[in-house]
Amino acid sequence: MDAVDRILQQWATARPDLDTSAMGPVGRLSRVSHHFTRQMGETFARNGLNAAGFDVLATLRRSPPPHALSPGELMSSMMITSGTMTNRIDQLAKAGFVTRRTDTQDARRAVVGLTDKGRDLIDVALADHVETQSSLLVALSEKEIAQLNAALSKLLKAAEPR
């Protein structure tokens, strides 16, 4: 029995007229997400990053060489506001992990690119992050991981705007 089972039992007593069956998976997803976020945050911190900085550097690193994108492209990839994006870029630039320059083909457009220091950092942080993510799923078999991935993909597709 886990914490969510105890909550469901309490609701069954307090409000037996309600079908609380959806509370189980939703509550568990929420709690698991909280634990995963905390543990991944610890991994980012060991590498001198937070989740936001990691996200920007990882987005740039997985883009084709020269690992540079416009702030708008970064924003759409991360679904954040322009003010938030500007702050993230400013912090990473101040630390020497990214540069901001004018696009050589369109002077009205800025381009954010990884520095060598930023690339080196994200390569180490990413390897650490992948190891952390694997450890978070250690309780599941490969088959269970594939089933969970498929079910979560189905939920995500239904939840995200088209």
Q: Are residues 19 and 90 both part of a single domain?
A: no
Question: Does 69 share its domain with 146?
Answer: yes
**Measured distance CA(38)–CA(34) in Å, rounded:** 6
Burial class (CB in 10 A: 0-12, 13-18, 19+), 98: buried
Please indicate, yes or no, whether residues 108 and 139 belong to a single structural domain of this protein: yes
**The predicted structure's pLDDT at residue 34:** 97
Please state the pTM of the whole predicted model: 0.86
Residues 18 and 81 in one domain: no
Domain count, the chain: 2
Q: Are residues 74 and 151 in the same domain?
A: yes
Q: In this structure, are 26 and 53 located in the same domain? A: no
Sign of CA dihedral 60, 64, 68, 69: negative
3-state secondary structure of 95: coil
Residue 80 neighbours by CB under 8 Å, 6+ apart? 88
In the predicted structure, residue 63 carries a pLDDT above the cut 80: yes
Report whether pLDDT(137) > 90: yes
Q: pLDDT digit string (tens) for 5-50?
A: 999 999 999 999 999 999 999 999 999 999 999 999 999 999 999 9
With 0-12 / 13-18 / 19 or more C-beta atoms within 10 angstroms meaning exposed / middle / buried, residue 134 is exposed
The average confidence (pLDDT) of the chain is: 93
**3-class DSSP state of 113:** strand
Same domain, 41 and 53: no
Is residue 41 domain-shared with residue 59, that is, in the same domain?
Answer: no
Q: CA distances (Å), 6 to each of 2, 23, 33, 129, 132, in order?
A: 7, 12, 19, 32, 29
Identify the CATH number of the domain in which residue 155 sits. Answer: 1.10.10.10
Check if the beta carbon of residue 61 is closer than 8 Å to that of residue 114.
Answer: yes
What is the extent of the structural domain holding 26?
Answer: 1-46
Pair 38, 104 in one domain: no
Residues 1 and 26 in one domain: yes
Q: Are 58 and 118 in contact (CB under 8 A)?
A: no
Looking at the structure, do residues 7 and 56 belong to the same domain, yes or no? no
